[in-house]
Amino acid sequence: MSTFLFLDSRDSIDRSIANEFTWLLTGMNSMSTNNINLSLDSFLMPFSRYVIHSLNKYIYIQQNGGGTQIAVLTEGNYTATTLATEIKTRLDALGVNTYTVSYNSTTQKMSISVVIPNTFQLVDGSYNVYKLLGVDTDLFTSAVSSYTTPYQVDLSGTKYLDVVCTSIPIQNSKSGDSYPVLFRIPCYVQIGSVLSWEDYNQRSIRVSPYQLDQLSIRLIDDQGNPYYLDKTHELSLTIRLTPIAQ
């Protein structure tokens, strides 16, 4: 018979890292079995992250042959047109060139230009916005006066969250973090809604009762970045523990 654990982030013993949660469990190591299947049965959380957030708001640019400057976009939700306006505002604010930034609704691509003979070049850097804009820095090999992104703008936001169990390390994990992914949760709801999910397929990981003195999880987004939950928001989940027959 399965045992269900109902966990709430308000009961987490450590909220110092905004995408990690740890719960102390009692009585689990006294279960009369050597192995248990641990699975995520349900998950409930506000889905409130902006499309532009702290981990994708930077543009790295070299202007007129100068050194690299950083334009910082304002965090928030945008349409492609309003994002084009924001990009122009932040690039112009660097004080070198005046930019024209536009979005083509037919091709769904973004164009950036300056008046000749001025030039610019986008360069790679941490937490940049390029993937959302359809920019490929591998193709951006020289300074230009006009640039159109090779790929379509994608402002649909986070596609999925991985719920990673960090209290039970494993080898050769696909998460790349040496921890098992309990489940990958599709983010089909609108930003500002509640992300509610139930696992009907019962994906599980095998654990020993002695590994269950505490349970820790980490939220990772589709770009491999932490998904930070604001401390004013909470999540809840249900863990299913099913003894494995000897």
| pLDDT tens profile 168-209 | 876 444 445 578 888 899 998 888 889 998 877 767 888 888
For residue 101, pLDDT over 70 is answered with yes
The predicted structure's pLDDT at residue 18: 86
Cα end-to-end distance, the chain, whole Å? 14
Q: Once rounded to an integer, what is the mean pLDDT over residues 25-47? A: 82
**Beta-sheet strands, E only, within the chain:** 3-8, 20-24, 36-47, 58-63, 68-72, 100-104, 109-113, 120-123, 146-148, 160-165, 181-186, 193-198, 204-207, 214-221, 236-243
Q: How confident is residue 235, by pLDDT bands cut at 50, 70 and 90?
A: very high
pLDDT tens per residue, range 154-173: 998 899 999 998 888 764 44
Q: Between 141 and 103, where is the model more confident?
A: 103
Write the burial class of residue 125 (CB in 10 Å: 0-12 exposed, 13-18 middle, 19+ buried).
Answer: middle
Q: What is the pLDDT of residue 173?
A: 45
pTM above 0.85, yes or no: no
Instruction: Give the pLDDT of residue 150.
Output: 95
Q: pLDDT at position 30, please?
A: 65
Q: What percent of the chain has pLDDT over 90?
A: 58
Cis ω before 226 (30° cut-off from 0): no
Q: Which of 52-61, 62-71, 90-99, 178-187 has the lowest mean pLDDT?
A: 178-187
Choice between 27 and 230, residue whose per-residue pLDDT is larger: 230
For position 168, what pLDDT does the model report? 82
pLDDT at 172: 46
